[in-house]
Amino acid sequence: MITKKKKMKMKHYLYVACMFIAALAFTACSDDDDNSVKLANVTLHFNAPSELQSYNPTIGIQELTLKNINTGETTSVVKPGTRATTSNASITVSVPEGLYTISMEGSLSYKLNDEMVYTKMRAYQESVTFTEATGTSPLDVTGYVYNSSEEGGNFVIAEIFFTGTVTPEEKQYTGDKYFRIYNNSGDTLCADGLTIAESAFMTTSKYDYTPDIMNEAFSTKAIYRIPLGGKIMVPPGESLLLCDIGMDHTVANSNSFDLTKADFEWYDVSSNPSFEDTDTEVPNLEKIYCYTATIWGPHNRGFTSFALARLGDDENNQLSKEDYLKDYAYTYEYNMIIGGNVYPMSGDAYKIPNKWILDAVNLSVESEYVWNVTSPALDRGWTYCGKVNQDKTRYGKSVRRKVLSGKTLQDTNDSSVDFLPEQPADPYYKFHE
C-alpha cells in the first residue's frame, strides 16, 4: 500500500527529475547560442605614407578585402566614392570573429610644387585578430604608393652615372658608366625593346632649330636598345643595369666598380684602331645608331639629356632597326652667330615620337645651363653632377631618383625634384628592402 508519505516523496523525485531535464534543455540551448557566429564591428583608419603626410593628401578607398585566415572566406567592400579630405580615411565593416589579412586598394592625390599629383595607394596588414571587443579600438593601417602599368606606371630611369671615375692617381678613367632602368609599376613588365637615347642637342647651347619638333619628338644622336624577343621580365621594384663595359673595373681602378653582373652592355665596333671597345660576356645591347665612328659614352659633364623609350607604340609593336632608321630621320637647320656674322648651319639626327617615350631626364650644370632639350610634357626640370663646367668634384657621382614610398620611385616629370643630384655612384644601390 502506498502511503501518503510515499506519494509525497515520489512527487518530490518527479519534480527534481523535471527540473534536471529542464536544466539540460537550457544548457543545450546555451551551447547552441555559444556556437553561433559572433560578429566584430571593425573600424579601420587608412593613413597616407608618412613621407606624404605634410602634403595634405586626399585618400580614396576603392576596395577593401578582409580575408579570414582560418576559414579562407573573404569579405569585400567596394566603396568607389569614399574619400577623405585629410591624410587618412576611415571605414567600418562587420565580419565574423577571427584572424584576418587586410588589403585595401585606393587612390591618393596631393600637391607637389603647386601641381596636383594623382597616384594609387595600397595598404596591407596580416595576422590581425578581430573580436567583438575590437570595435572599441580603431585599427590604423599605413598605406604605400604604387603605380599600375595600365594607368601610366612603367619603366623609369632610376640612376644615370655619366661622370665616370678617376684612378687613385687622379687620372680620368673610362668604360664604367651605366644606367639603371627600374620597373616603377605594380606589375611584372617585359623589358624587350627598351631603348636608351642621348639627345642630339645640348642643354648648354641653344639655337633656333628648324623644323622645331620638340613638342612632337625627342631628337637623338645615340640609340641603343635591349634586343627584341628575349622576354626579359622585370618584377615590380626591380631594375636592369645597362653599362659601358661589363668587366671588373676595380682590377684597373680601385675607385671603380665590378660590372660583370650587369644585365647588358653597349658595344661599338670602332673604325679607329686607337679607340677599340671591349666586348665581354655581358649581353650586348642592339646598336640602332650612334654619331661616332669609334666608341660612345654619355657626356661626362652632363650637357646632354636622355630618354627611355620603345621604338613603337608598345612592346608588341616595335620597329626593326632598318625601318626605324628609314622612317625617322631628322634634318635640321639653324643660324650660328659669331661676332655679328650669321653662319647658316645644318645637322642630321633621328627622332623618337614623344608618345613612344616612357621617361626623360634633362642634365646640365648650373654655370652653363641654358634650356631643356625635351618637351616639358616629358621633363620640366633638370638635374646635375657638378655646379660648374669641368667640375672636378663630379667624378664618381651619379643622379639617382628619389623613393616616393615603398617600391615606388618619385616621378612627376620634373627632374629638379624627382632626382637626388651628386650621389655616390653605386650600380647595385638598393632602392628598398
Query: Where in the chain are the domains?
Result: 39-146, 155-424
Predicted confidence at residue 10, as pLDDT, reads 46
d(CA 116, CA 110): 6
Any idea of the CA torsion for 381, 387, 393, 398, to the nearest 10 degrees? 0
Q: How many of the other CB atoms lie within 10 Å of CB of 364?
A: 24
Residue 411: which of 158, 217, 241, 203 has the closest Cα? 158
Q: Tell me which residue has cell 628619389.
A: 402
How crowded is the C-beta side of 14, counted as CA atoms within 13 Å? 6
Residue segments in the chain with a per-residue pLDDT below the cut of 50: 1-33, 81, 83, 85
Whole-structure pTM value: 0.75
Burial class (CB in 10 A: 0-12, 13-18, 19+), 79: middle
d(CA 89, CA 82): 8
Q: Grid coordinates representing 116?
A: 596636383
d(CA 147, CA 185): 4
Predicted confidence at residue 290, as pLDDT, reads 97
CATH number of 39-146: 2.60.40
Q: How many of the other CB atoms lie within 10 Å of CB of 411?
A: 23
Q: Which pLDDT tens digit goes with each residue over 60-70?
A: 888 899 999 88
Predicted confidence at residue 171, as pLDDT, reads 96
d(CA 301, CA 163): 6
Predicted confidence at residue 17, as pLDDT, reads 46
Contact 138, 128 (CB under 8 A): no
d(CA 348, CA 315): 27
